[in-house]
Chain A
């Protein structure tokens, strides 16, 4: 009996070892490549153990550490504020349209849903932000445009409409008013959904760079991802337009190429990788709770 048991255990362990390797190895390769000398990358391709070790890619990206640190600061600020406020607003909107006894809940749901299908487009958004709201060079320009996502509202609504209306009614009978019901009953009951969406929203904020490209010119307010995307874009641009850049006298050899991209991946993704495990238990719960009830 013992022997058979061990065999199946071995099999399961082996399976999961392989699975973990499949997940972890690419990360390791990215880190390894980021630490490899560009010239040896050209000659030998990607290797797990660098033949010529070099910190050039990081040196290139970390040229001015104060800029990078400030960018981390901006990204953290925007992510934290955006995730907290965004989550609260998402939950509030979702709660309202999930209440069956709210007369216009279909109309309001449609209103939210409608924005999923149609958007104003790039130029009108730009005009709105810069000329009416005067948010250029303000962190609000990074927070406001993606504060509410209709998709998140719909997910949250799906979760909240599973909460029985009777709970709310009984709370009402006990004398609770709307705010109390929302903060004391609905929010605690929705923790798994809140955690899941909170993570999604903070990922969105963490990865956001496009709005920053449009609205932020002040070098002190540039978020991390824009800094890194910029570097990447510039390298890409200069290498694909080498005919022109040759003519214009830009020295391409001074840009670390593949290694810099990998270093960017490490710098940009690193912190979220560290944060993810803390969220993970909620994340799993949020997903399973939803599926059990469905």
Chain B
């Protein structure tokens, strides 16, 4: 028995020593690799010291790596990359390795790549891979100095509000792929019903004004769902008719009053709760589908069964876009607000990896993508004559059997440089830019919450909300009955600690920005 035990012990020791042996080797390998990288890094700084004049002839050739998501990987990817490299080689003597990742895999793949400390230069960041989170993980690097030195055109082209939106602790961590940056909420209504019941769109000024129309639909159209509310939106239309700004980056239950010079934080203001009350009422009246809390809206939308839909981005040309999704039925829009913007919401950007072997050249390349129209359109649409044809002016038409049609212009750079597609109005980019510059901007839009101190509480709160949210938003749960119980649970989950931390950081933010003494 004793012998046996000894044997097991011996074997464990053996295994341990083998493992640690491996570890030792790994460490050795690691330090070697580190040295190698340092060596090459040194070489690169030496060569990047040279290009200050910006002349391609003096730059040593380097290869850049660029990760970005695509909804579908393209068959002619390599061909396009070759063409891209012809331009890039001529202008900054670099080549680019394009690394598109299928959009569904993007977050997991990039998290692994970043955690492993892989060496690469550029990555797309945005709504699914948030730059501020990457900053906290130390995965991407600040680019203020690089921008000033290597991308002055780009720096000037982007409005300051976007740079502010991409700053964390005062430093810029991303280059925005400029696109529409404003929101406007309102209703999308199927034209056939609006015509049939002579809907006077001018009379609809507030959310509640749609009620009589919903009642008509409910009464006369048994197969139609009057109001398309399935628990994914209709949370804070600037909490009920423009009285509040939502504080971004939090759980969407923090507001400040639009006319409050002191920027006092409001948690669950009455007007927000009124949204839930309204949903409860509409659910009882039968305007909201009875199984809304468990079904998917899309299943009904594509059949044209939804009469009125609420939307927060009624942008130019939205009618054409939504028509196909509404089962091919014509729609009209009824905007209820002016254009507003939460500053820049960092939906789609490029960042430079902390491990980038060539950050300077990466910045030069990004400058090129955002300023060289030919290069940008090559990335978006492929090669002229092979993947698309120019029709007239800036209009293009993709070839029917095109092997390069990513159709995701916003993933590469500023969409304002893109060729126009059929159906887009000629002045679409001027209009969009106008909206971007004219939107009323959330005064606290640049606030960035550091969630680290209250991560546990946030997870608990999310779990509680997860249980109730869809039921409340769709009105399936009666608000007056549910709210006291829900609020009790939120308190147990750490509501107060979370609020205290947010308040602390928010006050600090107001002070730093000079909004409050």
Flag if B29 contacts A132 (CB, 8 Å): yes
Q: Number of contacting residues on A, CB 8 A?
A: 46
Decide yes or no whether A217 CB sits under 8 A from chain B.
Answer: yes
Flag if A111 contacts B11 (CB, 8 Å): yes
Flag if A219 contacts B78 (CB, 8 Å): yes
Interface centre among A107, A132, A239, by most chain B C-beta atoms within 10 angstroms, is: A107
Interface residue from A131, A217, A219, A247 paired with B116 (Cβ < 8 Å): A131
Given contacts A42-B302, A64-B75, A106-B7, contact A238 B103 (CB under 8 A): yes
Interface residue from B11, B102, B118 paired with A233 (Cβ < 8 Å): B102
For residues 231 through 277 of chain A, which have their beta carbon under 8 Å from a beta carbon of chain B?
231-239, 241-244, 246-253
Given contacts A107-B14, A230-B104, A234-B72, contact A249 B321 (CB under 8 A): yes
CB distance from A246 to the nearest CB of B (A): 7
Flag if B324 contacts A42 (CB, 8 Å): no
Flag if B298 contacts A242 (CB, 8 Å): yes
- Whole-angstrom distance between the alpha carbons of A108 and B10 in the complex? 12
Which residues of B sit under 8 angstroms from A279, Cβ to Cβ? none
Decide yes or no whether B105 CB sits under 8 A from chain A.
Answer: yes
Flag if B10 contacts A233 (CB, 8 Å): no
Decide yes or no whether A130 CB sits under 8 A from chain B.
Answer: yes
Given contacts A233-B105, A234-B102, A253-B325, contact A110 B75 (CB under 8 A): no
Interface residue from B99, B113, B347 paired with A247 (Cβ < 8 Å): B347
Which residues of A sit under 8 angstroms from B347, Cβ to Cβ? 244, 247-248
Interface residue from B10, B11, B105, B232 paired with A213 (Cβ < 8 Å): B105
Flag if A248 contacts B118 (CB, 8 Å): no
Which residues of B sit under 8 angstroms from A155, Cβ to Cβ? none
For residues 181 through 236 of chain B, which have their beta carbon under 8 Å from a beta carbon of chain A?
232-233
Given contacts A219-B73, A230-B73, contact A236 B104 (CB under 8 A): yes
For residues 86 through 145 of chain B, which have their beta carbon under 8 Å from a beta carbon of chain A?
99, 102-105, 108-109, 112-113, 115-118, 127-128
Decide yes or no whether A174 CB sits under 8 A from chain B.
Answer: no
Decide yes or no whether B253 CB sits under 8 A from chain A.
Answer: no
Flag if A230 contacts B324 (CB, 8 Å): no
- Whole-angstrom distance between the alpha carbons of A120 and B330 in the complex? 56
- Whole-angstrom distance between the alpha carbons of A217 and B104 in the complex? 15
* CB 8 Å contact bits of A118-131 with B (1 = contact, 0 = none): 00001100110011
Flag if A110 contacts B33 (CB, 8 Å): no
Decide yes or no whether B77 CB sits under 8 A from chain A.
Answer: yes
Decide yes or no whether B441 CB sits under 8 A from chain A.
Answer: no
Interface centre among A67, A236, A246, A252, by most chain B C-beta atoms within 10 angstroms, is: A246
Flag if B407 contacts A251 (CB, 8 Å): yes
Interface residue from B11, B102, B115, B299 paired with A104 (Cβ < 8 Å): B11
CB distance from B417 to the nearest CB of A (A): 15
Flag if A244 contacts B115 (CB, 8 Å): no
Which residues of A sit under 8 angstroms from B73, Cβ to Cβ? 219, 230
- Whole-angstrom distance between the alpha carbons of A213 and B105 in the complex? 8
CB distance from A118 to the nearest CB of B (A): 11
Decide yes or no whether A114 CB sits under 8 A from chain B.
Answer: yes
Flag if B10 contacts A107 (CB, 8 Å): yes
Decide yes or no whether B463 CB sits under 8 A from chain A.
Answer: no
Flag if B324 contacts A251 (CB, 8 Å): yes
* CB 8 Å contact bits of B172-183 with A (1 = contact, 0 = none): 000000011000
Which residues of A sit under 8 angstroms from B127, Cβ to Cβ? 244
Flag if B313 contacts A247 (CB, 8 Å): yes
- Whole-angstrom distance between the alpha carbons of A217 and B110 in the complex? 13
Decide yes or no whether A43 CB sits under 8 A from chain B.
Answer: yes
CB nearest to A129 among chain B residues: B116
Which applies to chain A's interface (DSSP): helix, strand, loop or mixed? Answer: helix
Interface centre among A63, A130, A132, A247, by most chain B C-beta atoms within 10 angstroms, is: A247
Given contacts A106-B11, A107-B8, A251-B324, contact A123 B112 (CB under 8 A): yes
Decide yes or no whether B383 CB sits under 8 A from chain A.
Answer: no
Flag if A110 contacts B104 (CB, 8 Å): no
Decide yes or no whether B303 CB sits under 8 A from chain A.
Answer: yes
* CB 8 Å contact bits of B306-332 with A (1 = contact, 0 = none): 000000010000000100110000000
Given contacts A234-B103, A237-B103, contact A127 B298 (CB under 8 A): no
- Chain B interface extent, by class: 35 or more
Given contacts A107-B14, A234-B104, contact A243 B109 (CB under 8 A): no
Flag if B8 contacts A110 (CB, 8 Å): yes
Flag if A107 contacts B117 (CB, 8 Å): no
- Whole-angstrom distance between the alpha carbons of A213 and B128 in the complex? 18
Interface centre among A131, A219, A234, by most chain B C-beta atoms within 10 angstroms, is: A234
- Whole-angstrom distance between the alpha carbons of A53 and B194 in the complex? 35
CB nearest to A255 among chain B residues: B71
Given contacts A106-B8, A214-B109, A239-B298, contact A123 B115 (CB under 8 A): yes
Which residues of B sit under 8 angstroms from A232, Cβ to Cβ? 104
- Whole-angstrom distance between the alpha carbons of A243 and B312 in the complex? 9
- Whole-angstrom distance between the alpha carbons of A182 and B113 in the complex? 43
Flag if A249 contacts B410 (CB, 8 Å): yes
- Whole-angstrom distance between the alpha carbons of A265 and B325 in the complex? 26
* CB 8 Å contact bits of B25-40 with A (1 = contact, 0 = none): 0100100010000000
Decide yes or no whether B408 CB sits under 8 A from chain A.
Answer: yes
Interface centre among B75, B104, B321, B324, by most chain A C-beta atoms within 10 angstroms, is: B104
Which residues of A sit under 8 angstroms from B299, Cβ to Cβ? 42
- Whole-angstrom distance between the alpha carbons of A232 and B115 in the complex? 26
- Whole-angstrom distance between the alpha carbons of A231 and B102 in the complex? 8
For residues 262 through 285 of chain B, which have their beta carbon under 8 Å from a beta carbon of chain A?
none
Interface residue from A63, A107, A239, A250 paired with B408 (Cβ < 8 Å): A250
- Whole-angstrom distance between the alpha carbons of A247 and B409 in the complex? 12
CB distance from A102 to the nearest CB of B (A): 13
Decide yes or no whether B50 CB sits under 8 A from chain A.
Answer: no
Flag if B75 contacts A43 (CB, 8 Å): no
Decide yes or no whether B158 CB sits under 8 A from chain A.
Answer: no
Flag if A42 contacts B105 (CB, 8 Å): no
- Whole-angstrom distance between the alpha carbons of A110 and B105 in the complex? 36
Which residues of B sit under 8 angstroms from A111, Cβ to Cβ? 11, 15
Flag if A253 contacts B324 (CB, 8 Å): yes
Decide yes or no whether B403 CB sits under 8 A from chain A.
Answer: yes
Q: Mind listing 25 A-B residue pairs with CB under 8 Å? A: A42-B299, A64-B75, A106-B8, A107-B15, A110-B12, A111-B11, A122-B112, A123-B112, A126-B113, A126-B115, A131-B33, A132-B29, A213-B108, A214-B109, A217-B99, A219-B73, A219-B77, A230-B102, A233-B105, A234-B72, A236-B104, A246-B313, A246-B321, A251-B324, A252-B325
Q: Given A235-B104, A242-B298, list of 13 further CB < 8 A pairs?
A: A63-B75, A106-B7, A107-B11, A107-B14, A127-B117, A130-B118, A219-B73, A237-B104, A243-B233, A244-B347, A249-B409, A252-B325, A253-B325
Query: What are the nearest 8 A-B pairs in CB distance?
Result: A233-B104, A107-B11, A230-B102, A237-B104, A64-B75, A123-B115, A253-B324, A126-B116
